[in-house]
Amino acid sequence: MPQSILTLQNIHKSFDGATVLDGISLSVEAGQFVTLLGPSGCGKTTTLRIIAGLEQPDEGAVILGGADVTRLPPEKRAVNTVFQNYALFPHMNVHRNIAYSLRLRREKKDVIDKRVEELLSIVQLEGYGRRMPAQLSGGQRQRVAIARALACDPQLLLLDEPLGALDLQLRRQMQVELKALQQKLGITFIYITHDQEEALNMSDLIAVMNGGRFEQIGSPEDIYERPATRFAAQFIGQSNILEGTVKQAMEGRAQVELCPGNFVTVNGDFAPGERIALSVRAERIDYGNAAQYGFHLTGAIKLHSYIGGVLRTTITLPTGQELLITGANPVSTYPAGCTVQVFWDPAVAAVVERGRAQGAR
């Protein structure tokens, strides 16, 4: 059985009476790259600070390597953190920055020198030991910060938006480097971002956070292909949410009326009359003169917009709801105002909400 290196058990945290973490639980296996993904203010940094021991939970437990560390101070935990702003010591050169924690531990000079050289090689900065932080680019500074955090062999590396200050191109390059480094070293990473592309790119496991709760925990594919909640579907990728009513329920599947007279089959056990919301990804919907497969509806093209690489089309359904469709073909043969058939494979739709009244959010 895979070994859990970190377990969060029902963590609650409030600041000044306001709930910031509302009972979050998570189990992380050794060697996994786990990302906390969510909008600003949802509690990601607070979660990381609780794992690091920089903040105490009001309730719940932090189990690290099988031991309850909830009340242990940060320096007693085999955890290190890399922050967005690098937090390098500006008056120390790269070598001394990386050596900092080893010197605190009073390691011998030759041991420190060897380890620093090793770490410089790991982060591909051989020969940079004498440079001052001000003489480095943003990406190089971030690599030094990572090398410094790795110096004392943490079991767990916590990374709080470490690439947030970099431009998009460097950010993408560093994503690839960081992931490769994590795989090479086999260290468990807990990574914070509000950038969905970054999360999908790098993670083994993503915890989608919203308002101090985990909405869904799963692999990138799970989260993308099978969003469990309306929030998860809308925060990651472009989704259409369609609401309908269960008209007929059989064992393991149901007929759901999405528009008057249009029924789609949904897998799962439902009750007749139940309201459900389905999510369908924008790139999974097709349209044309006639439906070629799957479930179809009639709609009218409202507008097309070319957004570099994809054509985004808005189609209005008879109910007034607008569907967003993206396609790789930059030109559409159907101008605005055209009536078309909109269709998709029912298997690509995910149930993201059930049992609520129509129009409820």
Is 43 a binding residue for ligand ATP by CB under 6 A? The answer is yes
For ligand ATP, the binding residue among 46, 80, 93, 175 (CB under 6 A) is 46
Among 44, 77, 171, 296, binds ligand ATP (CB under 6 A): 44
Which window, 39-47, 137-145, 181-189, 257-265, contacts ligand ATP (CB under 6 A)? 39-47
Nearer to ligand ATP, 35 or 240 (CB): 35
* Binding piece for ligand ATP, criterion CB under 6 A, among 38-46, 65-73, 98-106, 331-339: 38-46
**Toward ligand ATP, which CB reaches closer, 214 or 287?**
214
What is the closest distance, in whole angstroms, from the C-beta atom of residue 42 to ligand ATP in the complex? 4
Residue 45 interacting with ligand ATP (CB under 6 A) = yes
Stretch that binds ligand ATP, among 25-33, 43-51, 227-235, 270-278 (CB under 6 A): 43-51
Distance CA 179, CA 149 (A): 16
> Is 194 a binder of ligand ATP (CB under 6 A)?
yes
Whole-number Cα distances in Å, 233 to 135, 208, 239, 277, 353: 43, 10, 6, 11, 11
Contact call for residue 175 and ligand ATP (CB under 6 A): no
From 12-20, 22-30, 235-243, 267-275, span contacting ligand ATP (CB under 6 A): 12-20
List Cβ neighbours of 353 (8 Å cut-off, separation of 6 or more): 229, 230, 276, 277
> Is position 57 an interface residue for ligand ATP (rule: CB under 6 A)?
no
> In b/e form, how buried is each residue of 303-323, taking b as 16+ CB within 10 angstroms?
ebeeeeebbbbbbebeeebeb
Residue 56 makes contact with ligand ATP by CB under 6 A: no
42 lies in the site for ligand ATP, by CB under 6 A: yes
In the chain the beta strands, taken as DSSP E runs, fall at 4-15, 18-29, 33-37, 59-64, 67-68, 79-82, 156-160, 188-193, 205-210, 213-218, 239-250, 253-259, 262-267, 275-281, 286-288, 295-306, 311-316, 322-327, 339-344, 350-354
Residues that bind ligand ATP (CB under 6 A): 15-16, 20, 38, 40-46, 194
